[in-house]
Amino acid sequence: MTNPNPLNQPIGILHGIGAQTANRLQKLGLWVIQDLIFHLPLRYEDRTRVYRIGSLKAGMTVLISGKVEFIDVVPRGRKSLVCRISDGTGFINLRFFHFTANQHNALKPGTTLVCFAEARYGFAGLEMVHPEYKVIANPDDYVMETRLTPVYPLTEGLSQNMLRKAVKQALELCVQTPELLTDWLPESILKQYHYPALSDAIQTLHAPDESVSTLALQNGNVPALKRLAFEELLAHYLALRITRNKTKAWQAPSFSSAEPTGKIATEHFIRALPFKLTGAQQRVIAEIEADCRKQQPMMRLVQGDVGSGKTVVAAITALLALTAGYQVAVMAPTELLAEQHKRNFSAWFEGFQVQVVYLTGQLKGNARKAVLQALEDGTANIIIGTHALFQDSVNFHRLGLIIIDEQHRFGVHQRLALREKGQQDGIRPHQLVMTATPIPRTLAMLQYSDLDISIIDELPPGRKPIVTSVIPAERRADVIERINSWVGKKRQVYWVCTLIEESEVLQCEAAEKTAEMLTQALPNVRVALIHGRMKSSEKDSVMQDFKNHQLDLLVATTVIEVGVDVPNAGLMIIENPERLGLSQLHQLRGRVGRGNDDSYCLLMYQAPLSDTARHRLGVLRDSNDGFVIAEKDLELRGPGEVMGTRQTGQMHFKIADLARDAELLDIVQQVGDSFFIHSPQSVQPLRDRWLGASTEYSEV
C-alpha cells in the first residue's frame, strides 16, 4: 500500500481552508501543500521590537506601545475616531475612519496599547491610520514575536492571516516529517556553495529569526534565498534540457537522400545571389547542413547582429528541405517582416518551381481557404507568415522545416507548439531559430538551453560602421537642415518616434504630428508615415514605395524595429532614445548601414538627461557591436530590460530574479549538466517541484 506524500495533497485538506479559499489560492498557482512551501514572502514586517514613539519618522512601519491620552470623534474632513497615545518619548495619533462604539469605549484614556502600522504625516504630526492594535491588560503578559512576520503575495479575497495560517501548517508538516520534502541538491553542492539544506532555507525565508537582517532579505542577499533561486533556475534549465533530450529521440526527415540534387540546387542558388556569402554565413550553413543530415530534428539558434545576413542562410536551409520534397514554414513576429520575407523568398526562389504562400491574421475568406488548401494538399512549398501559422486550421502536407525569425518575440512554448504541427508518423520537422538580439552568453545558456547555437559573427564586407551622435532636441532645426541636404544627395531617411507609454494609439498620434511637421518644414522632401495601426496593405505599399525610392523620408514608430531592409536609407533620427533599451536602439539603428555608403544615426534626446541615460547613450555612440551593447545593458539595467518589456519570450520565476541572481547562471549550467550524469533520478522531481504541471517548456 502506498502512502501518498501529504505535501502532494490539495491545500483544501488543511485546517481552516474551505473550498472558496482553496479556489482563491489556485489563482495564485497554489494547488497542493508543497506549493505553499514555495510561495515565499514578498517582504517582511518586523514585530520583534518596540520602537520609541519619539524616534519615529514618516514611512516607518513598526511596532509601538503607549498609553491612551485622549480619544475623540473628529468631524473635520472625513469623520474619524482619533486616539492619541504616548510612551513618554513622544505621542502619535491613531486614526480610524471606520469605527464602532465598542471600539471607542475600549480605548479609554489610560489603556495600554500595542500598535503596528506605518507612521505617516497627518493634520497634527505623525499618525497611524487603521493600525493593527491590541489592548494590553498587563504589560508583563505581552509576548513579543521572535521572528519577522512574512507578507505574502495575495489575490482578491485572501488575507495575510489566512495565508500565514496555511503556510504555517505546511511548514509544521515538514518539521514533523522532514523526509517529506526531499532535498534534491546533493550534499557536495550545498558544501561547495555554502547553501543551507532545503528545510532550513524554507524555514528561514518564511519565518526569519533575529539572526537574519531585514536589509539582506530585501536585497536577496541571504544564502537561503540564493539557494532557492539557484534551485529554481536549475529546474528551468533541466526542463529545457529534458525537452531537448526528448526531441533528440524523435525521428526527423532526412534531407540527405536528396543530397546530389540538393547540392546542385544550392550551388545554383548561391551563384544567382548578387553577393558572395561571408565566411561566417558559410560556416553556419555548414553547421545547419550537418544537423539536417542527421536522423534527429535540428534545434538550432542562429544568432547574428542586425544586417549580418541571416535571411539568406534561412533561404538556403529551406532549399535543403524543398529539394528533399518537404514543405517549409517561415514565421516572423510582425506582418511587416513577414511581408519582407515573402518578397525576398519569392524573388530568390524564382526559377526554382517553388510556390511561396503567405498567411497572416489579416487574410480572410476565400483567399485564406485557398492558402490552407494549398498547404494541405502540398501544392504550396513555402509558407511565410506571422503567428497565424499556429492556428488549428493550419495543416501541412509534409512539413520538414520550421524557420522562426526574431525568436525573442516568441515564447518557448510557441516555438515548441509549432513543431507539433509538423509531426507526422513519428517524424518531427527540423527547426531553425534566428535572432538579432545578442543576449549575453550566460542568459543564452538558460533561455536557449534546448537549442544548439550558431553565431554569424561577421558583417558582409564593405559595411562601414554607423556613425552615431547624441544630440539634444533643441538642435532640431539643424537636424531638419541635415535631412534636406541628405535627400538632395538622393539618399533616404528614417525618423523614428518613441513614446514612454506602451500605448500604440499615442505612439501613432505622435508620429502623425511629426510627419505633419516634417512635411511642412521640408517642402522638397517626399514624406510618408508608417505605424502599427495601419492596415497591412497600407504598410506594405508605403514600405514598397520607400524601397523603390518613391519616398525620401519615412516617419515611423518602433514597428520598423526588426528586419526592415532598405540599403539606400543611410540616415536615421531617433527621437527620445532615452526611453528605449540599448539593445532595442541597436536593432533600430541596424536599419541603416545596410549598403556600402556612409550611414548615420542621430540620437535626439530630450534634455535634461540623467547620468545613467547619458552613459547608456554613450555606449551606443561608441560601439556598433550588439554583444558589447547587450552586456552593458545587462550591467546598467538588468536582464528584464535587455529582453524588452514587450517581449513575450521571457521566463517566469517564483523566486529567482535574473538581475539579482545573474552570478548563479554560470553554475546552473555546470550543475545541470552533471545532474543528468550523477543524479538522473533527481532531474524530473526537481523540474516538477518548480514547474509543476506547467507545460511551458514541454511538448504538448
Question: Which residues contact ligand ADP by CB under 6 A?
Answer: 275-278, 281, 304, 306-312, 436, 460, 563, 565, 567, 594
Partners of residue 571 on adjacent β-strands: 493, 600
90 binds, among ligand ADP, Mg ion, none (CB under 5 to 8 A by kind): none
Residue number, nearest CB to Mg ion: 563
Q: And the C-alpha cell for 457?
A: 559573427
The distance between the two most distant Cα atoms of the chain, rounded to a whole number of Å, is: 98
Q: In which element (H, E) is residue 541 found? A: helix 536-547
277 binds, among Mg ion, ligand ADP, none (CB under 5 to 8 A by kind): ligand ADP
Distance CA 586, CA 608 (A): 22
Say which residues have a Cβ less than 8 Å from residue 511's Cβ, sequence separation at least 6.
497, 529, 531, 555, 556, 557
Distance CA 485, CA 159 (A): 65
Q: And the C-alpha cell for 287?
A: 553547421
| Chain-centroid distance, C-alpha 508 | 24
User: What's the Cα-to-Cα distance from 254 to each of 210, 251, 326, 450, 511, rounded to whole Å?
Assistant: 63, 9, 10, 21, 49
Judged by beta carbon, residue 176 or residue 548, the one nearer ligand ADP is 548
Q: How far is the CB of 684 from Mg ion (least distance, A)?
A: 38
Q: In which element (H, E) is residue 612 found? A: helix 611-622
Q: How far is the CB of 358 from Mg ion (least distance, A)?
A: 17
Judged by beta carbon, residue 307 or residue 644, the one nearer ligand ADP is 307
Residues 572 and 601: beta-carbon distance below 8 Å:
yes
Q: How far is the CB of 616 from Mg ion (least distance, A)?
A: 24
Distance CA 36, CA 28 (A): 10
Judged by beta carbon, residue 400 or residue 563, the one nearer Mg ion is 563
| Chain-centroid distance, C-alpha 397 | 34
Which residue bears the cell 527540423?
430
278 binds, among Mg ion, ligand ADP, none (CB under 5 to 8 A by kind): ligand ADP
Judged by beta carbon, residue 131 or residue 385, the one nearer ligand ADP is 385
Distance CA 550, CA 572 (A): 18
Distance CA 551, CA 541 (A): 11
223 binds, among ligand ADP, Mg ion, none (CB under 5 to 8 A by kind): none
565 binds, among Mg ion, ligand ADP, none (CB under 5 to 8 A by kind): ligand ADP
Residues 586 and 526: beta-carbon distance below 8 Å:
no
Judged by beta carbon, residue 297 or residue 563, the one nearer Mg ion is 563
Residue number, nearest CB to ligand ADP: 309
Judged by beta carbon, residue 435 or residue 442, the one nearer Mg ion is 435
304 binds, among ligand ADP, Mg ion, none (CB under 5 to 8 A by kind): ligand ADP
HSE toward the beta carbon, residue 463, CA cutoff 13 A: 20
Judged by beta carbon, residue 309 or residue 672, the one nearer ligand ADP is 309
Residues 636 and 659: beta-carbon distance below 8 Å:
no
Interface mask (CB under 5 A) for Mg ion, residues 478-497, using x and -?
--------------------
Distance CA 570, CA 601 (A): 8
- 563 lies in the binding site for Mg ion (CB under 5 A): yes
106 binds, among ligand ADP, Mg ion, none (CB under 5 to 8 A by kind): none
Decide: residue 159, CB within 10 A, 0-12 exposed, 13-18 middle, 19+ buried.
exposed
Residues 245 and 696: beta-carbon distance below 8 Å:
no
Judged by beta carbon, residue 133 or residue 345, the one nearer ligand ADP is 345
Size of the site for Mg ion (CB under 5 A): 1
Q: And the C-alpha cell for 30?
A: 497554489
- 307 lies in the binding site for Mg ion (CB under 5 A): no
312 binds, among ligand ADP, Mg ion, none (CB under 5 to 8 A by kind): ligand ADP
Q: How far is the CB of 407 from ligand ADP (least distance, A)?
A: 12
10 binds, among ligand ADP, Mg ion, none (CB under 5 to 8 A by kind): none
Q: Hey, CA dihedral for 307, 312, 315, 320, is it positive or negative?
A: negative
Q: Hey, CA dihedral for 118, 120, 126, 129, is it positive or negative?
A: negative
Q: How far is the CB of 312 from ligand ADP (least distance, A)?
A: 5
Distance CA 331, CA 390 (A): 9
Judged by beta carbon, residue 333 or residue 563, the one nearer Mg ion is 563
Judged by beta carbon, residue 21 or residue 584, the one nearer ligand ADP is 584
- 577 lies in the binding site for Mg ion (CB under 5 A): no
Q: How far is the CB of 314 from Mg ion (least distance, A)?
A: 9
430 binds, among ligand ADP, Mg ion, none (CB under 5 to 8 A by kind): none
Q: Give the residue among 594, 580, 557, 543 at the shortest CA–CA distance from 338.
A: 543
Q: Map residue 158 onto helix, strand or coil.
A: coil
581 binds, among Mg ion, ligand ADP, none (CB under 5 to 8 A by kind): none
Q: How far is the CB of 311 from ligand ADP (least distance, A)?
A: 3
Judged by beta carbon, residue 142 or residue 275, the one nearer ligand ADP is 275
Judged by beta carbon, residue 121 or residue 275, the one nearer ligand ADP is 275
Q: How far is the CB of 550 from ligand ADP (least distance, A)?
A: 19
Interface mask (CB under 5 A) for Mg ion, residues 13-42, using x and -?
------------------------------
Q: How far is the CB of 337 from Mg ion (least distance, A)?
A: 7
Q: Which residues bind Mg ion (CB under 5 A)?
A: 563
